Each structure stands twice: as structure tokens, then as C-alpha cells.
Amino acid sequence: MTIYIDPPVWPAHGTVFAHLISDSSLDELHTFAARTGIRRQAFDEDHYDVPEHRHRDLIAAGATPVSGTELARILASCGLRVRSVERPTKVRARLLRAWERLLDTSDAAVLGEELLGRWAEPHRHYHSPAHLAAVLNAVGVLERAGELPAERRRPVRLAAWFHDAVYAGAAGQDEEDSARLAEERLAGLLPAEEVTEVARLVRLTATHAPEPGDAAGAVLVDADLEVLGRAPAAYRRYTAQVRRDFDHVPEPLFREGRARVLATLLERPRLFHTPTGQQLWENAARANLTAELAELQSA
């Protein structure tokens, strides 16, 4: 792990600022910042903003100086970069627009705000609004590829909104509680059979194992697992966020449990259930899971 800092050339508040990053771990970045007296309020998603007068001190403390261009390249290549479109304010605005397209009533607007509040709870790192946005985006990819007829799309998208609406880190129970929340909050907003379908789909995310012929279930679970098939750097960012979601679990227990989950996934004949999901994400997902499992078992 290396800490990098670029030149202080970014003007704000009557001075100029540099950016401080890690090439591998936000936890290590936070540790370095705390050790050198950089306040946590200076952290901005993937870097610390540090004023010019601290630049030399931080280099003396171990930060490696690089150009702004090189720092941006390092941040992107290590998978920790948070793109502008992924930042919370922009994600929230996009999600609100998406919700309004699903249900456009005053009661639904209140529900949308409640759900976004749940997704933005402070203990969430991976299971956050960014994950919800990614799932909805992947659902759209699969829909456009013809994996789901138009008349069946709304329940899938609503299930995406509810599938981690309750998140306490209790596998199985979180999905059940989220399904019950959907049943409660959607009653009266949708026909009863559609509410039932949304809840069924939410419960399916506990196993990610839809029955043959369940097109809606296949689309939802493939979209939820799309993260497994990302580029290696983005996959590493996902695993780091998952670890932060389970900060309360000691490292040996986390490694044991995580390895067991990965091994179970790799035993499946296929990770994705739609032809499009298999084509887009299957090979990369297996490579990512295999590499992570090897790392966990070698530690």
C-alpha cells in the first residue's frame, strides 16, 4: 500500500489544495490521515483535500508526490475512484427520477423518500444508493436485450428498490424483512397481485436461484450479481466495501465466511441465469471469484 499526494494547485477557501489517496485501501488512507492530523471532514469519497501548508509535512510522513495526472491514473487503476456520476447527490437525483417514472403519486413520492433514506443509512458501504443505482442500470441492460417483456418490468424494478431496503447484515432475515416492508408499503398503491410479485422477487435475492422459466426472477438476481462481473479494479472496490459492511465481524471469521460463500458460488454450473448475463458477466465473474478465493485461502 502506498499513499500518494499531488501538487497543491486546486483553489478553495483562500488557499490551494492537494489530493491525498491510497492505491489499495481507504482504511489505510484514513489511518494515515488520522496519524498526520488530517481531519475526517476533509475526506471526499475517494481522497482527502489537504491545504498547501501541509503538503511538505505529508511527504515527510510518507506520502509519495506525483503529478495530478498520475494521481488520477493511480486512483482509477486501483478501483477506488468514485466517478462524478457515482457521488451521492447525483445518484440520489437519478434515483428520484427513476422512482417517479415507476410510481407518480403523492403517496408514492413519500415512499420513495423513505426508501432512499433507508438505502443511505450510515452503516452501509456496499449496500448503498450506488448499489441500488447499479442494479437498476443492470436491469435496464437486460430489459433492452429482450430478457423481460415490457408488461413485467415494473415489479422487477420495484423489487430492486426493496431488495436491500432493510439491511442489518443478517443474511436471509434482511431479505424477508425487506419483502414484508414491500408488502406493507405497496399495499393500496398497486394491485394485490403485483405487490405479491414484488415481495416474491425480493425474497428470491436471498438465494439468487430462480426456477427455470422465471424470467423476472432471472433478471433481478442477474442484475444484483452484476458486480461480480466487473473489471478487476472495480471488483476490488466492491470487496473492500463489503468488508466495511461487516466491520463488526473479526477478520478470521470474515475470511472463513466469505471464502465459504465464494466456494458455493463457484460450484454452481452458472452464476447468471439470463443468456445476456452469461454473455456479459459470467467469465469475468468466475475469474474475480477465483482470484479472491485464492487470496482468502492463502492468508
Partners of residue 187 on adjacent β-strands: 190
The pLDDT tens digits of the residues spanning 11-57 come to 988 899 999 999 988 888 999 999 999 998 899 888 999 999 999 99
- pLDDT of 202 reads 98
- pLDDT of 61 reads 96
**Number of domains making up the chain:** 2
- pLDDT of 248 reads 86
Q: What domain range is 60 assigned to?
A: 3-82
Same domain? For 267 and 194 the reply is yes
Indicate which CATH number applies to the domain containing 90: 1.10.1300.10
Same domain? For 205 and 61 the reply is no
Same domain? For 91 and 42 the reply is no
pTM summary value: 0.81
Choose the final residue of a domain: 62, 82, 102: 82
The pLDDT tens digits of the residues spanning 44-67 come to 888 999 999 999 999 999 999 999
CB atoms within 10 A of CB 193: 9
Choose the final residue of a domain: 31, 50, 82: 82
Under 8 Å CB-to-CB from 291, ≥6 apart: which residues?
A: 232
Q: Return the beta strands (E) in 26-184 as ranges.
A: 48-51, 64-65
- pLDDT of 83 reads 75
Same domain? For 28 and 89 the reply is no
What is the distance between the alpha carbons of residues 115 and 92, in angstroms, rounded to a whole number?
11
Same domain? For 125 and 209 the reply is yes
Same domain? For 187 and 42 the reply is no
Same domain? For 182 and 63 the reply is no
Same domain? For 36 and 98 the reply is no
Which three cell numbers, joined as nine digits, stand for 227? 458486480
Per-residue pLDDT of the chain (299 residues; tens, 9 = 90+): 799 999 999 898 889 999 999 998 888 899 999 999 999 889 988 899 999 999 999 999 999 999 999 999 999 888 888 876 577 778 999 999 999 999 988 889 999 999 999 999 999 989 999 999 999 999 999 999 999 998 899 999 999 999 999 999 888 999 999 999 999 999 999 999 999 999 999 999 999 999 999 999 999 999 999 999 998 888 988 998 899 888 889 999 999 999 999 999 999 999 999 999 999 999 999 999 999 999 998 86
Partners of residue 65 on adjacent β-strands: 5
Helices vs strands, H then E, count in the chain: 14, 5
Same domain? For 61 and 185 the reply is no
Same domain? For 143 and 94 the reply is yes
Q: What is the largest CA-CA distance in the chain?
A: 65
- pLDDT of 151 reads 86
Which three cell numbers, joined as nine digits, stand for 180? 414484508
Choose the final residue of a domain: 82, 116, 140: 82
Same domain? For 111 and 60 the reply is no
Q: Are 274 and 142 in contact (CB under 8 A)?
A: yes
